[in-house]
């Protein structure tokens, strides 16, 4: 895992004959992900395969793609050797349903990419769809060409799946990892067998978390596409993400993310010690959409300037995040990724001595004057005016490895973040139903009024605090709210119906509609450890997923 942890940033490449269709079928746009078109339209293999003639590779330039990955600061490449459509995008001897046999150039893009990646010192990795294969009669997914009752998954596993994995693991040099995807349908034992099969051929080759539904079978976990957890997670995690809203090339999808949105997610993931696997979807001629390369080059400038705070960094040592930015650590250093410019920053709870504070500027770092109040362990400094685009990164050099205050505590700006993943949950029902924390750290499955979430936190300054509840809608679905909730703290009680809360802007706003709803104001009479309990009084039956809680924010009211 060493190279993988060190890398932090990789390039995903979704390249396949779906790129020829560009997200259109028979003149009509096909909604959703371009690479899912065959499934969406139930296109027979004998028709779908004709797309292969259009994949010319005329402008496919493996060196240019590797150079682009390098320019972006990426350290590994994951190429779709075979996606769900079953079409091998490499020279497969096992199946003629492949790019060399069926596409006009008869070139092997996987070989060209692997050679260039290895020359450039990047890890070459393959995506391989191990359960879904719409061309193989025994794999899952295609029930329009093949009778599902006649499928024998074992035949696919021992046949196409393992044979092609053997080709990929013996014909292309050292492979960093196999990115398995969509495990639904494979048995636990079969996933272990597949992992062992990979390791037998290349002991150092990693396997992704999506080799099985339970992420621990893989060598690391994969978040949902474009998702990140609300707090740092134990173990190694990666987020696969897109530059627009599809993986494969789709002409109508011009919904490109700004470089700032990409860097915002990068920083979010660095703060959680996670890897970022960011996708490009080349066109049928093999060229990379201009928008994609422009965004990656722009992102690369930031990464280049701040590489010290990217490669080999670990998650924040704190239990919770701050409003003004994200934090990571490496050796005796803390890196602060600052969301806003020219602000006075106060970093709380640092038990170490601070030796130096500097603004990262690759070789021309700018020293920053700071103060540290011994009684409160707060480091304060003002950022000089900077002309750096996007987020500034500041390094705190400490006298030893970071030793910071744990748990939830009031921050110098008077805010207290009660993250959902840090709540103590109480439910009276059996283990299987009632509220629980999902892999993203949110409180989910909240329908029942007898369930409770409770937080403990340290208050520094007594006074009035406004209480804001952050909830979300289901992915891709607008927030509806409508639940009646109550919060209890210091013997006081607030009640509110969640209605049109303030929209939250964060690194996955495009996918999750999150809102901050005002529950009211409470008085905390004394400093010290306090607790807050959240209850659901009435669940809006229209909301099929119930109440989805991300966090509660307490904000000291200044009078
Ligand atoms: O390779 C990319 C995606 O194609 C793949 N994972 C990333 C890395 C992926 N596989 N499955 N999914 C993503 C979930 C896809 C679900 C959907 Fe659909 C596909 C929603 C809409 C199209 C299947 C078909 C479910 C509803 C319709």
Query: Ligand 1: does its nearest atom lie under 6 Å from the Cβ of 181?
Result: yes
Ramachandran angles phi, psi of 459, nearest 5°? -100, 130
C-alpha angle with apex 387: 385 to 390, nearest 5 degrees? 105
- CB environment 362-378: b (16+ within 10 A), e (fewer): eeeeeebebebeeeebb
| Two tokens, residue 13 | 């490449």
Q: Return the beta strands (E) in 94-241 as ranges.
A: 123-129, 177-181, 206-207, 221-222, 237-241
Interval between CA 412 and ligand 1 midpoint (Å): 43
pLDDT at 440 (0 to 100): 87
DSSP letter string, 503-516: EP-STTTTT--EEE
pLDDT at 431 (0 to 100): 58
Ligand 1 atom having least distance to the Cα of 181 = 6
Ramachandran angles phi, psi of 166, nearest 5°? -65, -40
- Cα separation, 255 vs 409, in Å, equals 39
What size, in residues, is the chain?
A: 559
Q: Closest Cα to residue 1, out of 207, 271, 214, 211?
A: 207
Query: Ligand 1: does its nearest atom lie under 6 Å from the Cβ of 36?
Result: yes
Q: Whose CA is nearest to atom 4 of ligand 1?
A: 35
- Cα separation, 171 vs 545, in Å, equals 47
Query: Ligand 1: does its nearest atom lie under 6 Å from the Cβ of 35?
Result: yes
pLDDT at 428 (0 to 100): 66
User: Which of 225, 238, 239, 276 is the best mutation target for the ligand 1 pocket, counting ligand atoms within 8 Å of the beta carbon and taking the most?
Assistant: 225
- Cα separation, 350 vs 430, in Å, equals 41
Give the pLDDT of the chain (559 residues) as one tens digit per residue: 999 999 999 999 999 999 999 999 999 999 999 999 999 999 999 999 999 999 999 999 999 999 999 999 999 999 999 999 999 999 999 999 999 999 999 999 999 999 999 999 999 999 999 999 999 999 999 999 999 999 999 999 999 999 999 999 999 999 999 999 999 999 999 999 999 999 999 999 999 999 999 888 999 999 999 999 988 989 999 999 999 999 999 999 999 999 999 999 999 999 999 999 999 999 999 999 999 999 999 999 999 999 999 999 999 999 989 989 999 999 999 999 999 886 789 999 999 999 999 999 988 899 999 999 877 789 999 988 887 889 999 999 999 999 999 999 999 889 999 999 999 998 766 556 789 999 889 999 999 999 999 999 999 999 999 999 999 999 999 999 999 999 999 999 999 999 988 999 888 889 999 999 999 999 999 999 999 999 999 999 999 999 999 999 999 997 6
Ligand 1 atom having least distance to the Cα of 129 = 1
With tokens 């703290």, the residue in question is 489
Residue 518 pairs with which residues in a beta bridge?
468
Q: Is the pTM of this model over 0.75?
A: yes
A 10 A CB-CB count for 144 gives 13
Query: Ligand 1: does its nearest atom lie under 6 Å from the Cβ of 336?
Result: no
- Cα separation, 311 vs 150, in Å, equals 49
- Cα separation, 5 vs 123, in Å, equals 13
pLDDT at 69 (0 to 100): 98
- Cα separation, 406 vs 423, in Å, equals 15
């Amino acid at each position: 895992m060493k190279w993988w942890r060190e890398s932090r940033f990789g390039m995903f490449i979704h390249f396949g004959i779906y790129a020829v269709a560009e997200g259109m079928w028979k003149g009509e746009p096909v909604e959703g992900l371009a690479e899912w078109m065959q499934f969406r339209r139930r296109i027979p293999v004998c028709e779908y395969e004709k797309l292969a003639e259009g994949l010319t590779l005329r402008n496919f330039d493996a060196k240019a793609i590797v150079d682009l990955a390098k320019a972006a600061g990426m350290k590994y490449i994951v190429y779709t050797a075979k996606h769900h459509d079953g079409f091998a995008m490499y020279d497969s001897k096992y199946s003629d349903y492949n790019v060399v046999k069926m596409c006009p150039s008869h070139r092997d893009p996987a070989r060209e990419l692997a050679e260039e990646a290895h020359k450039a010192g990047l890890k070459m990795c393959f995506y391989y769809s191990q359960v879904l294969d719409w061309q193989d009669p025994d794999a899952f997914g295609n029930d329009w060409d093949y009778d599902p009752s006649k499928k024998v998954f074992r035949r696919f596993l021992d046949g196409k799946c393992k044979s092609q994995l053997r080709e990929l693991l013996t014909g292309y040099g050292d492979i960093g990892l196999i990115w398995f995807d969509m495990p639904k349908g494979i048995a636990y034992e079969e996933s272990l067998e597949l992992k062992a099969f990979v390791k037998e051929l290349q002991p150092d080759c990693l396997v992704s978390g999506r080799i099985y539904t339970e992420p621990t079978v893989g060598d690391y976990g994969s978040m949902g596409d474009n998702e990140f957890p609300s707090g740092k997670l134990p173990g190694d995690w990666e987020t696969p993400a897109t530059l627009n809203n599809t993986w494969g090339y789709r002409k109508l999808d011009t919904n490109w993310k700004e470089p700032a949105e990409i860097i915002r997610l990068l920083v979010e993931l660095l703060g959680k010690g996670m890897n970022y696997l960011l996708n490009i979807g080349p066109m049928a001629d093999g060229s990379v959409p201009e928008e994609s390369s422009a965004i990656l080059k722009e992102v690369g400038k930031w990464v280049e300037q701040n590489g010290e705070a990217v490669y080999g960094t670990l998650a924040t040592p704190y239990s919770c995040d701050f409003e003004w930015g994200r934090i990571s650590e490496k050796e005796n250093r803390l890196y602060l990724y600052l969301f806003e410019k020219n602000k006075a920053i106060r970093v709380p709870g640092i038990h170490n001595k601070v030796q130096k504070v500097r603004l990262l500027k690759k070789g021309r770092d700018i020293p920053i004057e700071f103060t540290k109040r011994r009684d409160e362990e707060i480091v304060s400094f003002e950022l000089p005016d900077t002309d750096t685009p996007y987020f500034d990164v500041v390094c705190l050099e400490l006298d030893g490895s970071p030793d910071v205050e744990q748990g939830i505590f009031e921050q110098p700006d008077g805010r207290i973040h009660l993250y959902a993943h840090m709540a103590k949950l109480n439910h009276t029902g059996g283990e299987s139903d009632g509220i629980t924390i999902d892999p993203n750290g949110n409180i989910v499955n909240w329908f029942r009024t007898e369930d409770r979430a409770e937080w403990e936190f340290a208050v520094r300054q007594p006074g009035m605090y406004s209480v804001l509840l952050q909830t979300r809608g289901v992915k891709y679905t607008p927030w509806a709210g409508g639940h009646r909730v109550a919060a209890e703290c210091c013997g006081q009680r607030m009640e509110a119906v969640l209605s049109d809360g303030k929209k939250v802007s964060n690194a996955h706003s495009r996918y999750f509609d999150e809102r901050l709803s005002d529950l009211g104001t409470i008085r905390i009479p004394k400093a010290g450890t306090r607790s807050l309990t959240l209850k659901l009084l009435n669940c809006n039956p229209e909301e099929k997923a119930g109440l989805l809680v991300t966090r509660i924010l307490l904000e000291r009211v200044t009078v």
